Amino acid sequence: MHGILLLTKTEINRLRRNRRYLIFTTALPVVLYLLWSKAGKSAYGVDFAAYYMVAMATFGAFAGALNGNAIRISEERKVGWIRQLRLTPLPASGYVIAKILTAMATTIVSIVIVMVIGRFYGGVHLALWQWLVVAVIIWLGSTIFAALAVAIGYRYPPDQAQPITLFVYLVFTILGGVWFPLTGALGNIGKATPTYEAIKISTDVIGNVSVPGYLILGLFVWLAVFAALATLSVRSMAETV
Amino acid sequence: MTSHSGTGPVVSFENVSKHYGQLKAVDGLSLDLRAGETVALLGPNGAGKSTSLDMLLALRKPTAGKIQMFGNDPYHAVKSGRVGAMLQSGGLMPEVTVRELVTLVAGLHPRPVPVDTTLRRAGIADIADQRVDRLSGGQTQRVRFSLAIAGESDLIVLDEPTTAMDVETRRRFWAQMKEEVAEGRTLLFATHYLEEADQAADRILVINRGRLLADGTPDDIKKRAGAKRMSFHLDGVDESVLLRLPGIVSLETRHDFVQLQTDDSDATLYALLDAGYRPSEVEIGSLGLEQAFLAITAEDDRAGETESAPAR
């Protein structure tokens, strides 16, 4: 465990220096929020500013857990770093666990920053428990994408991992209602996505309505699916890493 | 520090094979490494050296046979931190500094060496704060070496360690390895630099086409090739005459200087003298390691698949 934490610490330090990462996970959501939070009246039964805050927090956390991770994992496999780690006493699952822990440690920061902007710029007022629950839902809901990042990063070389990740990212964010609220037929398809589920649970909490159990169940199902894909990817690449 | 009281080999391969479909990368390899030895794995490209080392380090699984390290399976031996390994290429974490990388790898080890000591030993103290992905080939090589010695290991495994190094760096590298080995460590390295194997190793394992061809000290290997080198000065003799001497394997003449390989130096010399010739400055000696190595592997290649590999 000590080794995994040490690797996590190194990864966090490394990420903090990565400008692209900081832009996509924090700067961009904040800028978008400042631009668009007053653009609508309401969505999903709450103020538009509240919905958009949840959407932007999800956007930043999601990008942090998926995009950079998948490509980094793919490159680290190609460069041989994962192989080198196998020669150290770090347990076999240590690399993946460290990546997930790193994603968790860094996405919570961007979620909090967006929420602060939501509170002081967007005028979103919530009870303390609501802030906490929404933050945790978005945090956990996006961390499951770290598992998907492992699945993609292990299976594909960097030049394929990039377009695949971008495609997956667009599908889940557009269909999930991150860019704009879902309506109509497309919206109905999108309701199955974990991004939608995280946003809807959060807006339900904000709106003080009871959260339908199937939304929460949905998140767990997606987690199981991504974890299974990740395990398959890692196992199928076992000899060549 | 190294508490290996001769209770068993440090490394053992028992009839290990690695097949990729029809290709036999490693074919029935058996060998033992004893504590404190410095052993060189010598062989041409494609001989199976890297594959063997990969299997030893639990990076690949053998198709058949058993590999043990410190009496344990390779995976557990590696995870217990008893091995330090340097791969042939790649293997560095992007976007971190040299110091951060060495600190990480040392921290993962149960017996870490102080980071500054490792940086000094690997000759990378001056680039400690540079980013790992912005180094030259030689610097990268030294960083890779530093990771193998970042913790106190009982066995060090190196795959072609000095490939990108210049003469000075290579000399410093082997001086450092000598220090490591002096503390009782076992060292196993793969190389295609014969001189390096000759000078650094107590024992050489010659590998070709996935099998062990020879196992002995550098001198044993040279003698094993059988042939001897003979050179002398002789005025005005015909090459065709020399070629008819008994035992001749190969011949080279330059003005009055003759250099030849023979598998019976006595017979060749006596025949030359009996024919009335009086060569001067006669030198007879064993083949250098390079010739011995080439002779052994050429013989093996010629023999084809019916040859059985002697273990010792």
Model pLDDT for residues A189-227, shown as the tens digit of each residue? 888 888 888 888 998 898 888 888 888 899 999 999 998
Looking at the structure, do residues B206 and B101 belong to the same domain, yes or no? yes
In this structure, are strands B83-86 and B155-159 parallel, antiparallel, or unpaired?
parallel
Inside any domain, residue B204: yes
Looking at the structure, do residues B46 and B169 belong to the same domain, yes or no? yes
- Across the interface, whether the CB atoms of B78 and A6 are under 8 A apart is answered no
Looking at the structure, do residues B121 and B134 belong to the same domain, yes or no? yes
How many CA atoms lie less than 13 Å away from A157 in the CB half-sphere? Answer: 4
Rounded Cα distance, A215 and A192, in Å: 9
Gyration radius of chain B's alpha carbons: 23
The CATH number of residue B205's host domain is 3.40.50.300
Touching check for B296 and chain A: CB below 8 Å? no
Rounded Cα distance, B66 and B48, in Å: 16
Q: Whole-model pTM?
A: 0.83
- Point out the domain boundary residue: B222, B249, B275: B222
Inside any domain, residue B88: yes
Looking at the structure, do residues B106 and B45 belong to the same domain, yes or no? yes
Rounded Cα distance, B221 and B223, in Å: 5
- Point out the domain boundary residue: B222, B254, B278: B222
Burial class, B138, CB count within 10 angstroms (exposed 0-12 / middle 13-18 / buried 19+): middle
Identify which of A76, A87, A91 has the shortest CB distance to residue B94.
A76
Is residue A6 within 8 Å of B115, Cβ to Cβ?
no
Chain A residue whose CA is closest to B105: A88
Looking at the structure, do residues B47 and B114 belong to the same domain, yes or no? yes
Q: What is the number of structural domains in chain B?
A: 2
Q: Which residue has the tokens 């250098």?
A: B288
- Point out the domain boundary residue: B196, B222, B248: B222
pLDDT, residue B2, reads 46
Q: Where in chain A are the domains?
A: 2-236
Q: Quote the tokens at residue B34.
A: 């004893």
Looking at the structure, do residues B149 and B275 belong to the same domain, yes or no? no
Q: Which of B6, B158, B149 is nearest to B70 (CA)?
A: B6
ipTM of the complex: 0.87
Looking at the structure, do residues B199 and B267 belong to the same domain, yes or no? no
Looking at the structure, do residues B252 and B215 belong to the same domain, yes or no? no
Helix, strand and coil percent figures for chain A, each rounded to 5: 80, 0, 20
Q: What is the pLDDT along chain A (241 residues), one digit of tens a residue?
A: 889 999 999 999 998 888 888 888 889 999 999 998 888 888 888 888 999 999 999 999 998 899 879 999 999 999 999 999 999 999 888 999 999 999 999 899 999 999 999 999 988 899 999 999 999 999 988 888 999 999 999 999 999 999 999 999 999 998 888 888 888 887 888 888 888 888 889 988 988 888 888 888 999 999 999 989 998 888 877 665 4
Model pLDDT for residues A101-133, shown as the tens digit of each residue? 999 998 999 999 999 999 999 888 999 999 999
- Across the interface, whether the CB atoms of A10 and B81 are under 8 A apart is answered no
Rounded Cα distance, B141 and A189, in Å: 52
Interface A–B counts its CB contacts (< 8 A) at: 75
Inside any domain, residue B2: no
Is the predicted pLDDT of residue B6 greater than 60, yes or no? no
Looking at the structure, do residues B166 and B266 belong to the same domain, yes or no? no
Full residue range of the structural domain in which residue B77 is found? 11-222
User: Which residues of chain B lie closer than 8 angstroms to A3, CB-CB?
Assistant: 107-108
Looking at the structure, do residues B256 and B236 belong to the same domain, yes or no? yes
Inside any domain, residue B142: yes
Identify which of A72, A84, A86 has the shortest CB distance to residue B147.
A84
Looking at the structure, do residues B21 and B160 belong to the same domain, yes or no? yes
CB atoms under 10 Å from CB of B301, counted, come to: 12
- Across the interface, whether the CB atoms of B90 and A239 are under 8 A apart is answered no
Looking at the structure, do residues B99 and B239 belong to the same domain, yes or no? no
> Mean pLDDT across the stretch B34-48?
89
- Across the interface, whether the CB atoms of B83 and A87 are under 8 A apart is answered yes
The CATH number of residue B273's host domain is 3.30.70.100
Touching check for A17 and chain B: CB below 8 Å? yes
Inside any domain, residue B75: yes
